[in-house]
Amino acid sequence: MKHVFRDSSASRLPTGGRSAAVASGLRRSPAPIRWWQELSELIKFRLTLLVLLTTLVGFCLGSARPIDGLQALHTVLGTALVAAAAAILNEVIERQQDARMTRTQNRPIAAGRVAGPQAAAAAVAAAMAGVAYLGFFANVLAALVAAVTLGIYVSIYTPLKRISPWNTWVGAVSGALPPVIGYVGARNEVDQTALFLLALLFLWQMPHFFAIAWLYRNDYERAGFRMLVVVDATGRKLTSQTVFFTIALLLVSLWPSAAGTAALAYGPGAAGLGALFIWAAIRFHNRPDRSTARALFFASIAYLPLILGLLVLCWK
């Protein structure tokens, strides 16, 4: 899930001041804390954590009751290795672009604190270990979906960011696959529920990322990324698509009620959450600025754990 929980707190500092402040803070921290700070930056800890949350939700929906806790742990651990590898490889490939962006210039590779070749080697090792771990301790199908996720994210989405605005669509596919990894890790098959999870996460990511893209459009333009907000400076296409995807998300989110796989309370809850998300998208469409984009971003952040929690609680 590539665009989630961006840390903008340090971006308020001027470029040089921010780098100096962060570097100074790292030097003053005890060695174990420095090591953890660097590692968490390198693997995009909060993004990876969200990936694992969606993986666990997928496992819960695909699992028989009672849930096999050990199998869930194996599935999450294998996915964690693959997700960390994807994050590192993305930073290796985009180190020059990251160095131009205020939001990302202090990432360990972009800032030169971690060497690219060593990071790439560690990432490849983690990816191989993660896929093998899933294949051995979960099942081959989960390992295959994880490998496809990694391949799309690193080999297609990452280079496409410099070529076409369609990169967002491709990235949303890779970001939507972790719950499928969890689901097939429990069930060892791809069925309608797996496709529902894929569609739900795909549709959620589009307005979520559009909000981020609007807030950081100058950064993306400076880095040379061909985001929709960069090629369509008016923002009309972006805001219109935001409304479209939130409406589509609401409709797709109601599938469990129509299919009879969720309890009665799920439908009204999902409809209410979707309506609030649409309201935030319409406000952004009618008045696209930093305030409405930020409100849309926080609406997306609130929506995902709430809809996933509702699914787990109401699933039959």
* pLDDT one digit per residue (tens) for the chain, 316 residues: 444 333 333 333 334 444 444 444 444 556 666 777 888 899 999 999 999 999 999 999 999 889 999 999 999 999 999 999 999 999 999 999 999 998 889 999 999 999 999 999 999 999 999 999 999 999 999 999 999 999 999 999 999 999 999 999 999 999 999 999 999 999 999 999 999 999 999 999 999 999 999 999 999 999 999 999 999 878 899 999 999 999 999 999 999 999 999 999 999 999 999 999 999 999 999 999 999 999 999 999 999 999 999 999 999 9
Query: Per-domain residue ranges for the chain?
Result: 1-190, 192-316
pTM of the model: 0.88
With beta carbons less than 8 A apart as the criterion, state whether 2 and 52 touch: no
**CATH architecture, range 192-316:** Up-down Bundle (1.20)
The CATH number of the domain covering residues in 1-190: 1.10.357.140
